[in-house]
Structure 1
C-alpha cells in the first residue's frame, strides 16, 4: 500500500514538504493555488512555472542556479505572452516582526569564479505589466534545514523602499515582498552586474537551453490547458 503524501498546513507556497513529496508536486500545488485563486496575471505566470518544471527538468540543471532558472523561465514566459526582465539583485529574508535577517543571497558586486561555473550574485525576473517579481530560486537564501522557501516566490512589490513604481528596475531601487513567515527585501544592482552582459555566459545558456526551446510548444500547450481549466471553475 502506497503511503499518502502529506504536507504541513498553511499556504502551499510556504509549506515544509515532508519526505515523499516531490518538488514537482509541490510546485504544481503552488501553481494551482494561483490558478484557482489569483488574478489572470498570476494564473498565467504560475502555470508557466509549473509547466516549465514539468517539461525542462530544472532539478537536473540545478533549481538553485538562479541564472539558469531565470533564463529558462524567461523563455517560457515569453512564449506564453508574459514580458519579464532579468535583474541582478541582492536578497535578504527578514522576520516581519523583529526585522531579524533570516537568510540572504547575492553580493553587491557579483562575479564569476571557476570559469563560469559559479556566480556570487542573485537574479530574479520582474514582470512589469503586473508589478510582480518572480524568484524561482529564493531557496538559495534559506539556511540549511529550512526547505519551505524552496518553492518559487511570486508576489507584488508591496513596498518600494527606495524609488518609485516607475523606477522598479532602476539600480538602487529596493523592493519589499511579503510572504508567510518572512519579508523578502530586494535591491536592484547596476546593469553591469547582470550575468547576461557576459557573452560567454550567454553562449553557454543558449547551448544548454536548446532542448527546452524545442519543447516550448508542448509547454505552451500545457500552460494553456491549465488556464482553460481555470475558466471552468465556479466563479470564473
Structure 2
C-alpha cells in the first residue's frame, strides 16, 4: 500500500485564496506583494487584507462599499492588535504633476437614502500609531480603470495637521497621500457624519458580519502564520 502523500503548507498566504471576483483576486495578489516588500507595519496591514478578502467573503459584504469594508477590516485589525479609527472623509484625487482634479468620492455633507442602503459619503481607516491611512475602496474613484489602479491605498500621510492623533482627525484636517501618478487628498468631516452614528447602520453591519466574527480566530492564526513566514524568510536571507 502506498503512503498517503502529505500536503505541504507552503506559503500561508495561499491558504486565504478563494474563488471570487476578479477585483478580489487582484487585491489578494497586490497584498501579497506588499506583504513581501513592505515594512513590518505595511506587512501586517497586507496580511489583514489577505485574511479579510480570502476568508471574509467581502464580495458579498463590502468589497466596493466603504463603510462595510472599513467596519470589517477594523474588526480584523483589532484582533491582531492594530489600532484603527473609521473616519468620514471626502476624497479628491489630483494629478501628481498638474494638480488637475481627476475624481471626487464622497460629499462634505453625506447623507443616507433608501433607508441605510445608500450613503453619499466616503470612509477610511486612520491608523494613529503609524500615521497611515488605509482606504480599501479608493477604487470607487476609478470604476472604469484597470485593476491595478483600483487597489486599496495604504499610505503614510505626508501632509497633516501637526499634533496628537486626536488632532489629526479634527474636522477640516486634510491628509495628502502620494500614490503612483496621483495624490489622494482626504478632508476629515465633522464626527456628526460618522456613519457609525446611525444605529440602523451599526445593527445591520453586526448582523451581516456574524460569519466574519466566527472566522476571526482562524484569520488571526493565518495572519500570524504569514507574518512569521515573512520573518523566517528575512532571517534566512540575512544569513547569505
Structure 2 counterparts to residues 12-51 of structure 1, below 5 A: 22-51=22-51
Cα distance change of structure 1 residues 29 and 209 upon mapping to structure 2, 3 Å threshold: same
Distance 2:217 2:51 in 1: 11
Q: How far does residue 143 in structure 1 lie from its aligned partner after superposition? A: 4.6
Please list every run of 5 or more consecutive structure 1 residues that lacks an aligned counterpart in the other structure. 1-20
Name the CA distance, whole Å, in 2 between partners of 1:193 and 1:217: 32
Distance in 1 between the 2:52 and 2:122 partners?
A: 20
SS state of the match for residue 232, structure 1?
A: helix
- What residue in structure 1 maps to residue 213 of structure 2? 213
Aligned to 1:83, the other structure's residue is in SS state coil
1:65-104 to 2 correspondences below 5 Å: 65-104=65-104
Deviation at 1:190, TM superposition (A): 0.5
| Counterpart in the other structure of 1:6 | none
* The 10-residue stretch of structure 1 (135-144 or 193-202) with the greater mean CA deviation from structure 2: 135-144
Instruction: Give the alignment's Cα RMSD to 1 decimal.
Output: 1.5
Structure 1's 132 and 145: CA in aligned 2 closer, same or farther, altered over 3 A? Answer: closer
Superposition TM-score, scaled by structure 2 size: 0.85
Structure 2 unaligned regions, length at least 5: 1-20
Indicate if the aligned counterparts of 2:24 and 2:63 stay in contact, CA closer than 8 A: no
Residue equivalent to 2:117: 117
Matches of 1:165 and 1:92, distance apart in 2: 24
**How many angstroms apart in 2 are the aligned matches of 1:43 and 1:153?**
13
- 1:198 corresponds to which residue? 198
Match in the other structure for 2:230: 230
**2:26 and 2:147 in contact (8 A); partners too:** no
What does residue 174 of structure 2 align with? Answer: 174
CA offset at residue 200 of structure 1?
1.1
Normalized against structure 1, the TM-score is what? 0.86
> How big is each residue's C-alpha offset from its partner over 1:112-147, in whole Å with a ceiling of 9 and x where there is no partner?
000011000000000111100000000111153454
Q: Give the structure 2 partner of residue 151 of structure 1.
A: 151
CA gap of 1:23–1:117, structure 2 versus 1, over 3 A, is same
SS of the residue 2:154 aligns to: strand
CA shift, 1:62, in A, is 3.3
Deviation at 1:47, TM superposition (A): 0.4
Residue of structure 1 equivalent to 2:189? 189
Q: Deviations over 1:11-36 (max 9, x none)?
A: xxxxxxxxxx9333322222222222
CA contact (8 A) 1:104 1:142 kept: no
Structure 1 Cα separation of the partners of residues 44 and 143 of structure 2: 30
Report the 3-state secondary structure (helix = DSSP H, G, I; strand = E; otherwise coil) of the residue aligned with 2:25: helix
| CA apart distance, 1:72 | 0.4
Whole-angstrom CA distance in 2 between matches of 1:31 and 1:148: 12
**Cα distance change on mapping 1:199 and 1:45 into 2, 3 Å:** same
